[in-house]
């Protein structure tokens, strides 16, 4: 469920907005963590680790704002619901981090990976868009990324922000980190396309 709710810095956001950001981020983290594990991809695992810091600081932000709001409106129960929700999402994020940690700490490929690959010839790829790429300024729809390369862009990291579940109208920018999933053969084609 991608949404257009990127409000920028946490301290100007409402509690509800932060919780929805946390929700999207934790879902992305779980997706990335499992992808990192199944495709034995350390780059993806590191992205999960970085996202954890963001979720942590949102968690604290929600706690602070919830207490501040309770002082104003004297509604203890509502504040506790906010705090409990943020902690639950933090819990999910922690699980994703633990999985990413297995990927980063382990030396040999996991037996789990082998089990998964038995049934799958898909892979996951991260690629940074260089400034001179023909992709810059064009939408994923215009680029026919999915139909041309078979690779599906599941997320884009833009600076410190993440775009979750980008769609055909999402425009590629310089230095975007694209996270894409698709057939093993698609990896080369995607890299070629990005470098053009």
Does residue 46 interact with its own copies by CB under 8 A? Answer: no
Does residue 92 interact with its own copies by CB under 8 A? Answer: yes
Does residue 26 interact with its own copies by CB under 8 A? Answer: yes
User: Measured from the CB of residue 88, what is the shortest distance to its own copies in angstroms?
Assistant: 4
Does residue 20 interact with its own copies by CB under 8 A? Answer: yes
Residues 6+ apart with CB under 8 A from 65: 14, 15, 18, 82
Does residue 23 interact with its own copies by CB under 8 A? Answer: yes
CA distance 122 to 61: 38
- 25: its two tokens: 């981020």
Q: Which of 64, 111, 97 is nearest to 83 (CA)?
A: 64
Does residue 41 interact with its own copies by CB under 8 A? Answer: no
Does residue 174 interact with its own copies by CB under 8 A? Answer: no
The neighbouring-strand residues paired with 164 are 155
Q: Which of 11, 24, 51, 22 is nearest to 160 (CA)?
A: 51
Q: Check if the beta carbon of residue 129 is closer than 8 Å to that of residue 173.
A: yes
User: Measured from the CB of residue 8, what is the shortest distance to its own copies in angstroms?
Assistant: 17
Name the site residues for its own copies (rule: CB under 8 A).
Answer: 1, 3-5, 14-17, 19-20, 23, 26-27, 30-31, 34, 37, 78, 81-82, 84-85, 87-96, 98-99, 102, 106, 110-112, 114-116, 119-120, 122
């Amino acid at each position: 469920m991608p949404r257009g709710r990127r409000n920028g810095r946490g301290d100007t956001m409402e509690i509800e907005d932060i919780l929805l950001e946390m929700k999207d981020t934790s879902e992305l983290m779980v997706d990335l963590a499992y992808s990192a594990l199944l495709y034995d991809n350390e780059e993806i695992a590191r992205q999960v680790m970085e996202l954890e810091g963001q979720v942590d600081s949102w968690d604290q932000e929600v706690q602070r704002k919830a207490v501040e709001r309770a002082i104003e409106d004297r509604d203890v129960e509502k504040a506790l619901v906010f705090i409990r929700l943020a902690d639950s999402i933090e819990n999910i994020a922690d699980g994703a981090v633990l999985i990413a940690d297995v990927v980063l700490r382990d030396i040999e490929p996991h037996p789990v990976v082998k089990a998964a690959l038995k049934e799958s010839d898909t892979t996951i790829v991260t690629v940074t868009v260089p400034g001179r790429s023909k992709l810059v300024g064009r939408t994923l729809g215009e680029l026919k990324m999915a139909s041309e390369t078979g690779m599906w862009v599941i997320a884009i990291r833009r600076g410190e922000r993440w775009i979750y579940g980008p769609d055909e109208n999402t425009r590629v920018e310089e230095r975007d980190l694209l996270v894409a999933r698709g057939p093993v053969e698609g990896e080369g084609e995607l890299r070629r396309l990005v470098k053009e």
